[in-house]
Amino acid sequence: MIRVLVVDDSAVMRAFLGRVVSSQPDMELLGVSPDPLIAIERIRRNAPDVITLDVEMPRMNGLDFLRNLMAVRPLPVIMISSLTRQGAETTMRALELGAVDFFPKPDNFADLDATAQEIAEKIRAAAGARIVRRRAAPSAAAIAPAVQKLARPSAAAPLQVLGDGPRVIGIGASTGGVEALRDVLTPLPPQMPPILIAQHMPPGFTETFARRLDTLCRIHVKQAEDAEPVRAGVAYIAPGGRHLMLARQGAGYVLRVTDDPPVNRHRPSVDTLFRSIARSAGRHAIGVMLTGMGGDGADAMLEMSQQGAHTIAQDEASCVVFGMPRQAIAAGGVREIAALSEISGRLGTLANAG
């Protein structure tokens, strides 16, 4: 049984999350707490397997609680976030501090069956997650502005595909992926092929996520836009709740962002992104599968490999959740398995080899 502690100052959210946990055959509601200080006493008496944690609470906010918890007794934490810009920024900070995952507060409590199922799946994934003591992310002020400006790609002509052509990199991720992507993208030099990213994330968070990464990386990071020409030195993140695809346009590439139905229950879907890259870029592509639960993208990574793309899966030891890389490996579409700390270097080497 997965023992869950709910920490939230909203009585409505405590009741809802309590019902979600209690209705699962493999979960036990260890308790609900309106106050972090009360929660600390509960944890001392009987540590849960997973904590759901609100950000704004009396006496101690969620980030302070999370910071103290990860320093003293690291446990899997799922943040409950508000659908505001400030809520998104706070959620990104919570993931940096060591939270495993997050979930936006429902807009209403009328039809919550699908929401309850998703929360339950996140709790299961968190219960089996590898908890990492995260280093603090450098602030934007810590990055020399002059260096950052020099490093950024110019708004020149779109990427051209000539001869063997430049490569396109596709990256898929889910649980644990927000921080894994930071680890992969921040060391990359500015002269990189374009990078397309499908990170399982709901609407309202990806713009903040992209903006935060953009302050830390030498490449430019942005939320993808439909019909946008693809350029070298730029990483494009699929908007939350929408699919991202690559398409050929003349001698170059263009992005497609759609509201097509979910694939593998996800939108954005890694499967959708990787399949489009396989068909548009073929052997000129590199595919990377990072940490995440489930099997989204496994079949499409096999298609990428069959088209001649070089494919990499993150190894189990460095994954928060090994589900997606495991499924990609099992499907036969992975050419190389690498630790998270090695993937940036491999991307640089492979890109230059083209």
| Catalytic residue (one of 296, 305, 310, 318) | 296
What's the helix, strand, coil split of the chain in %, to 5?
40, 20, 40
Question: What Cα–Cα distance (Å) separates residue 329 from each residue in 54, 103, 183, 323?
Answer: 36, 28, 22, 10
Which entry of 8, 54, 101, 200 is annotated as an active-site residue?
A: 200
List of long-range contacts for 58-61, beta carbons under 8 Å, 24+ apart: 58/9, 58/34, 59/35, 60/35, 60/36, 61/36
Tell me whether residue 259 is one of the annotated catalytic residues: no
- Residue 177 in 3-state DSSP? helix
Residues 301 and 275: their CA atoms lie apart, in Å, by 7
3-state secondary structure of 30: strand
Backbone angles phi, psi at 283, to 5 degrees: -75, -5
User: Is-catalytic flag, 226?
Assistant: no
Q: Edge-to-edge strands of the sheet including 220-223?
A: 220-223, 234-237, 195-199, 168-173, 285-289, 310-314, 336-338
The helix/strand/coil state of 332 is coil
Dihedral of alpha carbons 287, 229, 354, 154, sign: negative
Q: Measured on CA atoms in the order 112, 113, 119, 120, is the torsion positive or negative?
A: positive
Contact yes or no for 36/59 (Cβ under 8 A): yes
Cα separation, 280 vs 300, whole angstroms: 13
Could you confirm whether 296 is annotated as catalytic? yes
Q: DSSP string of 275-297? A: HHHHHHHGGGEEEEE-S-SS-TT
Candidates 8, 49, 54, 174; catalytic one:
174
* Active-site residue list: 174, 200, 296
